[in-house]
Chains A and B, each alone.
Chain A
Amino acid sequence: MMTRNFSTLPLVALLTLVSLPLMVMYGFLILDTVTDAPPGELWPDRFTLEHWRFLFDTSVVGNVWQAAGNSLILALSMMVIVLSLSTTAAYAISRLHLPYRRLFLGGILVMHAFPAVTLLIGVFFVLNFTGLYNSMIGVILVKGALMLPFGIWIMKGFYDAVPWEIEMAGVQDGASRFTVWRRLILPQVKPGLVALGVFSFLDGWGEYLLPRILAPGSEMTVLSVFLNELIAGDQLGFDFNLFKSVGVFYTLPVVLLFIIFQDRLMNIFGGGTKG
Chain B
Amino acid sequence: MPTLTIDGRTVSVPEGKTILEAAEAAGVRVPHFCWHRALGALGACRLCAVTVLDGPQKGVRMACLTPVQEGMRVSTLDESSWNMRRSVIEWLMANHPHDCPVCDEGGECQLQDMTVAGNHAVRRQRGRKRTFHNQDLGPFIEHEMNRCIACYRCVRTYRDYCGGDDFGVLGSRDRVYFGRFRPGRLLSPFSGNLVDVCPTGTLTDKTSRFRARPWDLEEASSVCPHCALGCAVIPGGRYRELLRVRADPRPQPNDGFLCDRGRFGYGYANRADRPRQARLEGRPGTLAEAVAALRERVEGIARQHGPEAVLLLGSARATVEANALLSLWARRLGAADPVFDLAARRDGAARIFARAAPALRATLADVRQADLTLVCGADPLAEGPLLALALRQAARRGAAVRVIDPRPVPLVCEAERLPLAPTLVPEALRFLAGGNGAGLSQEVLQPLAETKRLFDAARRPVVIGSAEGLGPDGVRALLALVAGASRPDRDAKAALLLPGPSSFACARLASAVPNAQDLRRRLGGGKIRAVVALEVDPLAEAPPAVTGVIEKAELFAALDYLPTATVGRANLFLPSAGPYEQDGAFCDFAGRLRAFARVLRPGTPILHTGKGNHPPRTFSPDVPGGDAAPAWEILAEILGISGGLSGARAEIEKAFSFLQGLAGLRADARDERVLPGGEPPAPPGAPAGPEPAGLRLLLSDPFVGWEPLSAHAAVLEVLRPEDAVYLNPAELARLGLAPGARARVEAQELSEIRVARAADLPPGLAWVVRRRGSALSRLPAGEVFACRVAREEGA
Do A and B truly interact? no
B residues engaging A (CB < 8 A)? Answer: none
